[in-house]
Amino acid sequence: MEWAEAIRALGGTPVPTELAARYAEPHRKYHNLTHVRQVVRDAVALTEGRDRALVALAAWAHDVVYDGRQGEDERASAAWARANLTAVRLGEEDVARVEGLVLATAEHTAPPGDRTAQALLDADLAVLAAPPADYERYRRAVRAEYAHVTDEQWRVGRAAVLRSLLDKDPLYRLAHHWETAARRNLAAELAASEG
């Protein structure tokens, strides 16, 4: 579901944005238009009815600001979503919902029973369940985004991220069919980094 299509579905009037330009910024090797399109596709597939448009807008906006600053990027992306959705005359309730969904990606936790937030978070992590060759491309692209850190800093930081993901049980709240492949990929990357 495209950005403009989701806005129309919620009663707004789309206007041009810099969405594509932001996702094409040269420092983005993984958090780019390919990633966001996959998140939109998977999040929409995991939701129903009106929530599909809301989750699509949140998916489009969730990484619109990406400078590798955990928490700050998500807050800035949520503010971008609020400004742009207010400008197209979406209702405050819908604007606040999309903003909240984007903010949920900061800690990657959804309120209990919030299936729309769970769909967004599952979709954002879908790449972890990719076939091994695709997972390796993802891993290399994320490393390229952190080229400014030393190999040792990367190894230590990445290992902490991998362990925190492996500690989540379950890793996926709705997309349980991704669980086994994702855990296999994460464990293999962690073992390789510690070997």
Question: Which single residue is written with the structure tokens 């966001």?
Answer: 36
pLDDT digits (tens, 9 = 90+) for 108-151: 999 999 999 999 999 999 999 999 999 999 999 999 999 999 99
Residue 194 confidence class, pLDDT cut points 50, 70, 90: confident
* 142 and 98 share one domain: no
C-alpha 183: how far from chain center: 18
Q: Which domain holds residue 57?
A: 3-124
124, 156, 171 — which closes off a domain? Answer: 124
* 76 and 144 share one domain: no
Closest listed residue to residue 124, CA positions, set 76, 85, 65, 171 = 171
The predicted model scores a pTM of 0.96
* 118 and 185 share one domain: no
Spatial contact of 172 and 182, defined as CB atoms under 8 Å apart: yes
**pLDDT of 105 strictly over 80:** yes
Total domains in the fold of the chain: 2
Residue 68 confidence class, pLDDT cut points 50, 70, 90: confident
124, 158, 184 — which closes off a domain? Answer: 124
What type of residue sits at position 89? R
**Assigned token pair, 72:** 């700050």
Mean pLDDT of the chain, nearest integer: 96
Q: Is the peptide bond before 170 cis (omega within 30 degrees of 0)?
A: yes
Residue 103 confidence class, pLDDT cut points 50, 70, 90: very high
* 74 and 142 share one domain: no
Spatial contact of 85 and 95, defined as CB atoms under 8 Å apart: yes
Q: Which range has the worst mean pLDDT, 114-118, 182-186, 190-194? A: 190-194
Spatial contact of 110 and 47, defined as CB atoms under 8 Å apart: no
**Assigned token pair, 176:** 């349980």
